[in-house]
Structure 1
Amino acid sequence: MFRFMRTKLTLLYTTTFTIAVGILMIFLFFALQKVMDKQQIEELNAFFMREQHDFLQQLQTNEPILHIDPTRHFFYYIYDEEGNFIHGDSQYDGLEEVIESYFLTTNTAEKITWQEESLFIIKRPFMLDNRNIGYILTGKTITTQTNFFKKTLAVLLITTLLFAGLIGAISHYFAARAVHPIQQAYDKQRRFVSDASHELRTPLAVFQSSLDILHTESLSSFGKEVLKDAETEVTHMQKLLEQLLTLARADQLVLTTKDKVNLSALTTETIQKFERLTALPIEATITPNLYVIGNEAKLLQVLYILLENALRYTQQGQIAITLTKDGLVISDSGIGISDEDLPHIFERFYRSDEARAKGGTGLGLAIAQTIITQHNGTISVSSNKLGTTFIITLPIFS
């Protein structure tokens, strides 16, 4: 149980810190990328402002000319208002054919990839007397920056993974330290319950023997009534001690004995025993040859707890039991459980007003839940005024 708690805390801490670090890394990456994009735009704007006069002259000459110079840092393409190419200087032969159609209806700054080169291009209109007379595409290569960002992203991912591993190790250490005092206190409580239950068995046995001796004496009617009450209380205390011992052992959440249990046969045999104890009809739908790996005695105890509860709180109607590969369902047509009591029925020593009137220790369902948890299963309950239904899921196989 505490190992699971440590693992859960470790995963919680690690996931939380990893998400936080991941968000920080993503923010830094995109912030850096935005700064670099802003720098590219400023450089292209500065280039345009320096060469604006020459660009207008080239547009007005209306002579389609393209110069290719591989040593250029910036490139540009000038178009008239109808989208016809007029002039350009570039280090890339054939690029104008790619970007002409792309930027025909686009008025934004764009990043494109062309022949393994990353390019940053801005489209800007030429205005004369508030009239659009054409536009220019200015750009530059950002291949070096793109490769830098790819390497940076890889470094950030590796750093995040390494940091997650480090946080995981640190979280496991602190989770173990946080759980240790709780585990110590829990172990002391469990040992106390176990020791106290064992120690109380002897005086209860002596008390029971004394009561048995009194049966041989001539007692008044009042004395016989007192003796009967005392025997009832002794029986109740013995049952309570047995249940406390069961819980103390079950809290370890480790099954010392595991076998292949024929759950279909076990359920059928248990139903047959209870049918001899009650006049209530028990409707059983049992899928044959269903098995589970676990402890047969403990699973039998769960069946007894649930069926005894169903009989105790059902005065008329019937009890229905269904066993399929999906799980075990036990329903009754009894008094039901109120909405206020329903969330608490698996708590130890919890008993509703109706339960107090029927007797019991308030430990049965807690024991059942603990045993089912030991078998890697779940137990849930639903109830209304027409009865109560318990649903048990287990790793059942054919």
Structure 2
Amino acid sequence: MPKEEEEVFSSDFIIPNSTLSYNFLEPQTATLDELKKLKDYVKLEKKQEKELKEIQKKYQKRSDEFVQKCSSALSSLHVLLKRKSGIKKVQKPKKKRGTTDSANDTTVDEKAQQEDTSSNDSQTAEVSSKVLELKNKLVADLTQLQEEQYDVVKKKKEQHITEQIAKLTDLMKERHATEQRLFKDSCESHTKEKKKVLDVKRQERIENMTKTTSDKATQERMKKDINSSHIQEVVQMLNILTEKKNSLQQKLEQKQEEALKGIKETETQVQAKVQEEYESLMKSIPNQVQEVTKSCVGKFFPQEAAEAKEETKPENDAATQEQNPQVTEEQSKEQLSGKQDQDQTSIQQAEEQQNDTASQDTTCKPEETAEHINEETACKPEETAGKTQ
């Protein structure tokens, strides 16, 4: 502790000479907040914050690598699927069809269209399977990584708490030793000042006695009485000061002991807070991973990302039902009606697509239809003439 601080601290216990009081000022001990502002403790906190930031940076980098790897694979699948769909959309050149093969060509076109549709469905299913596989792998990797990160952070924080408590305890003990030494020095200094005051009184009494009494024998006798009275006063003063000192010493030690207990209680509270924070973070992992996965997959396959989001709804609903078991029938009816509306909408969209396809097939071949009619009428003239007769 600096000399200036020691002087200020010790001066608190010194009573001015003019008061002639035997009372000491009650000493105070350092508080936990004061210790946390000391240079050594602030330096330790900055070091620990740096360690936690490095851990966060390390695991964030690994998480970004997982996401980047999955994004690259999804991008390749997206490009491949886009190329195949583009090839299918290219129309083949039409051949001139004869009059006798039109019906067979129509059947062949229908079969080819069916084959193309089944091929597209199989390719789409294959791509969806690969997307689901990549999504599940990303979820598993990120979940494992987050759990590992939170475990490491928890252990590191527990280590930091141990280091902080040890540092605070050392600082507190050093401060207590300084407080004890300063209190002792202040009491000794105060006692010396009181002795000087009593000695000055003794000298004044002797001077006054010599002025009023001229007989040397009487002076010697009175001087002995004054000295004897002075000794009794000094002894009485020392007894009072010692009693006051011991009382204040006991209070100071009690305060210091309570301060050390407060540090231990703080350790328990901080450890409990770290455990609570750890449990909260572990529970939040599924939602965090789902958001990252949805963002990654949704860039290339929005439909699969939406389906992945819907898959998590039953789990969340189950957890909600466990917390709130009284679910009203109106909510369930609304959910069913919403699903039915979605199904009807999808069916209508499918029917509209089929109608559009059929209309395109009929409108794109007017010449073939006219030729087919002419062939039928031209190939059966006799039948037409017989019917006319």
Give TM class, smaller chain. Answer: 0.3 to 0.5
Give TM-score, length-normalised by structure 1: 0.33
Give TM-score, length-normalised by structure 2: 0.33
Of structures 1 and 2, the one with the larger relative CO (CA 8 A, separation 6+) is: 2
Structure number with bigger Rg: 2
Structure in which a larger fraction of residues adopt strand: 1
